[in-house]
Amino acid sequence: MNATKPRGNGTLSDANQSPDDGNSASKKPHHSNSLTYWIAGAIVAAIAIALTVPNVATHFEIGGELFLRALKMIVVPLVFTSVMCGILGLGDVRKLGKPGAAAVGYYLCTTVLAVIIGLVVVNVIRPGVGTVDQAQLDKFAQKDTQPHQVLRETLAESSGLSEKLIGDVFPELEVNSEKAPGVETILENLALMLVTDNLFGAAVETQLLPIIVFTIAFGALLTTMPYETRTITTLVTEANNALLAFVMALMKIAPLGIFCLVAARFGKAQAEGRFLDELGQIGWYFAAVVIGLAIHALIVLPLIFWIVRRENPYRFAASMSQALLTAFSTASSSATLPVTLECAEAAGIPKRSTEFVIPLGATINMDGTALYEAAAAIFIAQAIGFDLTFGEQAIIAVTATLAAIGAAGIPEAGLVTMLIVLGAVGLPLEYIGLILAVDWLLDRFRTTVNVFGDSIGAAVVGVTIPDEPS
């Protein structure tokens, strides 16, 4: 492209060439270590208060809900503008092929690795062998309530959504359904999730994948007509800068919001008095999942980062600490998305990579969820004495990979796709109740791994994106 002509490719350097080039919204975000310490301290303080005075801690729920809603409020517009900026920043739709293939390849490889780690760990530790009382197993086997209805109620309670909306998001949770949805359900859902008949309806329900697909297609079209779309390019770029500035302002109250979120959730578990009892029954299962997640997050993902970028992965992880702590607090990769984008850019990842890879990863890159589902299925089989052959475990691996990709980015959505994994090898669905009591806490760990995987993906895919033309 001729450098003397006005460029309409949507790169940030083009959009920001204005007399007010020093505008803070256009600068790279500043990563504050002090804020990270405040957030970490807020989590510790919240857990301490929840364990000592749980009835007081539960009253902080309104503050946590307000903070969570503030984060979710900007997710949809930020996904639209950030992905659009990422596509426009490439300048030519043909340049999307290599980073797009790299992103999909990364997602598949890391998800498969996570599933393999989960299977290995749970087969080595064998957390379900001789650890669960027969009386506990009989309790779930004799329950009249259908697992589908139990999951609808659990998801509605944890996510704050109505049961009707949960049913719309997860049509497989039919109240009168007597069997688990199969692999064909996953494939159908994945295909239907790509396109929506109502873009505004998808935005209302925070269905990010069809929004991302539309944005990629629309942005690719704009790159073919740069001169006619200069105004749209400038508008989208400046809107993205403004939204990121809003995120940075919101993070100033993050310690307070995160304190309320964590205190309320841990306080509720402590007040009910069932959490520690259930943890005593399935503590080895809990430990096996956490160990698997730790191996994936502290060894496998950092190794991939180092191989591709030849940089210190743990220094990068420290730069992402605000996003990781927020992920642990909210248990939602979608709600954490604004913070993940801000932290990744502050960590030095090319903005065109973060804007394209991270929103996509927040919807389909679920390493932690895939590992958890594989481990949970094997644990349930071990607990009820169901011997799984190598072939059946391979089926679990494949099903868990596909199910994790199709999991929604709301708290505890992995429980829904667990039905598919259990049904794939004929495991009784009612025994999913064994893991419900501790799932809300494991959900926080696996969401943190999911978010870290997204940020590593942006760093890895960033090396495939050509340098921005000067």
- Place 255 in a pLDDT band, splitting at 50, 70 and 90: very high
Residue 310 domain-assigned (yes or no):
yes
- Place 89 in a pLDDT band, splitting at 50, 70 and 90: confident
pTM: 0.79
Which of 53-67, 75-89, 186-200 is the most confident on average? 53-67
Which pLDDT score, from 0 to 100, does residue 21 have?
41
Q: What percentage of residues in the chain have a pLDDT greater than 70?
A: 74
Which pLDDT score, from 0 to 100, does residue 351 have?
84
The pLDDT of residue 293 is above 90? yes
Residue 468 domain-assigned (yes or no):
no
Q: What would the mean pLDDT of 262-266 be, rounded to a whole number?
A: 88
Which pLDDT score, from 0 to 100, does residue 178 have?
47
Residue 117 domain-assigned (yes or no):
yes
Q: What would the mean pLDDT of 2-8 be, rounded to a whole number?
A: 40
CA distance 450 to 207: 18
Residue 57 domain-assigned (yes or no):
yes
Residue 18 domain-assigned (yes or no):
no
The pLDDT of residue 297 is above 80? yes
Residues 6 or more apart from 179 whose CB is under 8 A from it? Answer: 423, 429
- Place 317 in a pLDDT band, splitting at 50, 70 and 90: very high
Q: How many separate domains does the chain show?
A: 1
- Place 340 in a pLDDT band, splitting at 50, 70 and 90: very high
Count of CB atoms within 10 A of residue 262's CB? 26
CA-to-CA separations, 98 to 95, 210, 245, 365, 464, in angstroms, rounded: 7, 21, 30, 18, 7
CA distance 282 to 127: 8
The pLDDT of residue 163 is above 60? no
Residue 436 domain-assigned (yes or no):
yes
Which pLDDT score, from 0 to 100, does residue 232 have?
85
Q: Mapped to the 3 state alphabet, what secondary structure does the chain carry?
A: CCCCCCCCCCCHHHHCCCCCCCCHHHCCCCCCHHHHHHHHHHHHHHHHHHHHCHHHHHHHHHHHHHHHHHHHHCHHHHHHHHHHHHHHHCCCHHHHHHHHHHHHHHHHHHHHHHHHHHHHHHHHHCCCCCCCCHHHHHHHHCCCCCHHHHHHHHHHHHHCCCHHHHHHHCCCCCCCCCCCCCHHHHHHHHHHHHCCCCHHHHHHCCCHHHHHHHHHHHHHHHHCCCCCCHHHHHHHHHHHHHHHHHHHHHHHHHHHHHHHHHHHHHHHHHHHCCHHHHHHHHHHHHHHHHHHHHHHHHHHHHHHHHHHHCCCHHHHHHHCHHHHHHHHHHCCHHHHHHHHHHHHHHCCCCHHHHHHHHHHHHHHCCHHHHHHHHHHHHHHHHHCCCCCCHHHHHHHHHHHHHHHHCCCCCCCCHHHHHHHHHHHCCCCHHHHHHHHHHHHHHHHHHHHHHHHHHHHHHHHHHCCCCCCCC
Q: What would the mean pLDDT of 442-453 be, rounded to a whole number?
A: 92
Which pLDDT score, from 0 to 100, does residue 196 have?
83
Which pLDDT score, from 0 to 100, does residue 450 have?
93
The pLDDT of residue 9 is above 60? no
Residue 338 domain-assigned (yes or no):
yes
The pLDDT of residue 183 is above 80? no
> Which of 95-99, 212-216, 386-390 is least confident?
95-99
Which of 79-93, 105-119, 151-165, 392-406 is the most confident on average? 105-119
The pLDDT of residue 3 is above 50? no
Residues 103, 461: contact at Cβ < 8 Å?
A: yes
Q: Please give the residue range of the domain that contains residue 115.
A: 31-462
Return the higher-pLDDT residue of 308 and 177.
308
User: Around 8, how many Cα atoms within 13 Å sit in the side-chain half-sphere?
Assistant: 16
> Which of 25-39, 56-70, 125-139, 259-273 is least confident?
25-39
CA distance 221 to 233: 12
- Place 360 in a pLDDT band, splitting at 50, 70 and 90: confident
The pLDDT of residue 449 is above 70? yes
The tokens for 368 are: 């932690």
Return the higher-pLDDT residue of 305 and 15.
305
> One-letter amino acid identity for 188?
E
- Place 201 in a pLDDT band, splitting at 50, 70 and 90: confident
Which pLDDT score, from 0 to 100, does residue 320 have?
94
Residue 6 domain-assigned (yes or no):
no
CA distance 203 to 299: 36
- Place 291 in a pLDDT band, splitting at 50, 70 and 90: very high
- Place 83 in a pLDDT band, splitting at 50, 70 and 90: confident
The pLDDT of residue 122 is above 70? yes
Q: What is the CATH number of the domain that holds 113?
A: 1.10.3860.10
Count of CB atoms within 10 A of residue 423's CB? 20
